Amino acid sequence: MDMKDAEEDDWEAAEQESPEALSDTGWDDEVVEEVANGDWPALESTATELSDACAVRDRQPSYEILTEQELMQRQNILVERVVEQLFVSPEEATTLLRAYGWNILNLINDWLDEPDKVKTKVGLARVILPTEVSDRDAPFVCSLCMDKFAMDDTLGLSCGHRYCIECWTKWVVAEFDKGPQAVFTTCPGFKCSAMIPEEIQLRLLPGPKRQQFKQWLLDAFVQGNRTKMKWCPNPDCDKVIENRTGGEVEIECRCGYVFCFKCGLEGHRPCSCELVQQWLKKNSTDSENVNWIIANTKRCPKCHVNIEKNQGCNHMTCRFCKYDFCWLCKGDWSKHGSGTGGFYRCNKYEEAKAKGENASLEKEEQKAQEARNALQKYMFYFTRFDNHQKSIQFARKTRQDAEARMQLLRDIQGTNYQDVQFVLNAVNAVVACRRVLMWTYAYGFYLQGTSEKDIFEQHQERLEKFTELLHGLSEKPIEELLENKTRAEIVNYTRVVLRYRDNVIKAIETGLKSAQDIR
């Protein structure tokens, strides 16, 4: 049987599932009845209904995706609140908020208790214009470079320090070159804590550095609100996620990248952040190498170097100390011969084992067997974890192919983007399901308890089956994609598979108790 025949058989088997089984997976009642009768429902003609059929949002997400412009609006709202409540200028409000890590509650509480102390702590600075200086016609001596300047070529802050523009520029640029902490640059005066207003730094910085400084200002704002704000980890994305609830929430950014808000790693449901760290550490350390050594080698009885047996003969020669010994009993090989069973069998060991002797050898053998079992279990789960990880990468590459096929469908039918979006929706659903399946193998590796494990593996297997079937549907040739029946299959199966995926996640995260936990 070739791959195509096998795929068709799987699909036919899925179509022939009982109505009760299909109901458990989330099919609508009318769909269940028609599928059970061997007839798929016709695809609705409107693009809106197509889009709705592919939607799998049972509730509104607990987060909001912000552009940089929207992020700056969030900043301005906080600045306006501080201006209104503390009766300070917008520049002073911005400086205060930056100094307090944009924590407006802490700022207002401290200000109401001891405003002067806050001003001193922050070093609240206001730019003093040359026109505000009484003796502005007298030459000014900059205390940093000791040169004389006209007052118009200087800049002073309310902290009392005034320097020439050239020295200010050198100071601001030097602090910029140290990195993102430049947004908290203070006056160069001796032990002065006055923060230099950001508009002054932007004015003094050369053009190429200004954009980077603005980015650092946004970074500082996000960092100050890190419990509820994070940049999307995708290096090609400039969006910020505002998480209203906080904690371990899986985020799907507009760029398509899925990540965990708590740990910042790529989406890993149904595993907790702690389990993910444990699994990744296991994959990256030498723990499995140690298990392999224990399972497949023995120590030389003389020099104690680990030796691997690579042939059938029990006669071992240590390559380091040249000691000849028996692999089974680890005794001197010179004492072995036809009387001990020859080269390939050691009666001496078997007899001692039967009598309960050689306890240390049995203990070593037991330890080696346990290591082999542990290694075998790890390789079972890791191989499947790795396979889904590679399948995800492959599926992502097929997105471009899906978009090309969508364009071809549009050209043939003269329809809009939404009418053919079901193709891309199916591919994205496959990626989403494979990501969950990938992490179910990490979860399964640590899962204890026979009954719960049986339930878990049952639904893991079913999700894998649904995912493979949907993957096959998403790769149907253009001729079949033009048929309403095929479209209906893809639209409905995309919705069903994603719903089943969500239910699997929910059941695992809340604790599997029975086979009825996932519907």
Residue holding tokens 């090609």? 236
- Are 201 and 308 contained in the same domain? no
Q: In angstroms, what is the C-alpha Rg of the chain?
A: 35
CA-angle at 208, arms to 205 and 211, nearest 5°:
80
Q: Is the pTM of this model over 0.75?
A: no
**420 in any annotated domain:** no
Backbone angles phi, psi at 157, to 5 degrees: -110, 165
- Are 269 and 334 contained in the same domain? no
Top-confidence residue, 40 or 390: 390
> Are 195 and 123 a contacting pair, CB within 8 Å?
yes
Q: Max alpha carbon distance in the chain (Å)?
A: 115
**331 in any annotated domain:** yes
- Are 218 and 243 contained in the same domain? no
By three-state DSSP, how is residue 144 classified? Answer: coil
Predicted pLDDT of residue 13: 44
- Are 111 and 215 contained in the same domain? yes
Beta-bridged to residue 326, according to DSSP, are 315
Q: Which whole-number Å values give the CA distances from 219 to 39, 192, 215, 241, 247, in the listed order?
A: 55, 25, 6, 13, 20
pLDDT 10s digits, 336-379: 765 555 555 566 555 555 655 556 666 767 777 787 788 788 88
**519 in any annotated domain:** no
HEC string of 64-100 equals: EEECHHHHHHHHHHHHHHHHHHHCCCHHHHHHHHHHC
* 79 has pLDDT over 70: yes
> Are 376 and 422 a contacting pair, CB within 8 Å?
no
- Are 308 and 348 contained in the same domain? yes
**346 in any annotated domain:** yes
Mean pLDDT of 190-196: 86
Predicted pLDDT of residue 378: 85
Domain boundary, last residue among 318, 334, 357: 357
**372 in any annotated domain:** no
Top-confidence residue, 298 or 196: 196
- Are 223 and 237 contained in the same domain? no
Q: Cite the DSSP H helix spans in 322-358.
A: 347-354
- Are 134 and 244 contained in the same domain? no
**209 in any annotated domain:** yes
* 516 has pLDDT over 80: no
- Are 251 and 212 contained in the same domain? no
> Are 508 and 443 a contacting pair, CB within 8 Å?
yes
Domain count, the chain: 3
Rounded to the nearest angstrom, the gap between the alpha carbon of residue 329 and the centroid of all alpha carbons in its chain is: 50
- Are 79 and 216 contained in the same domain? yes
The boundaries of the domain holding residue 194 are: 66-229
Predicted pLDDT of residue 345: 55
Tell me the two tokens of residue 471: 């993957």
Domain boundary, last residue among 229, 250, 273: 229
**374 in any annotated domain:** no
38 in the Ramachandran plot: left (φ > 0), alpha (ψ -120 to 50) or beta?
left
Predicted pLDDT of residue 354: 61
Domain boundary, last residue among 357, 377, 399: 357
Predicted pLDDT of residue 81: 94
* 204 has pLDDT over 70: yes
**373 in any annotated domain:** no
- Are 266 and 315 contained in the same domain? no
Active site residues: 313
- Are 140 and 272 contained in the same domain? no
- Are 191 and 82 contained in the same domain? yes
Q: Nearest to residue 14, comparing CAs of 496, 516, 435?
A: 496
* 5 has pLDDT over 90: no
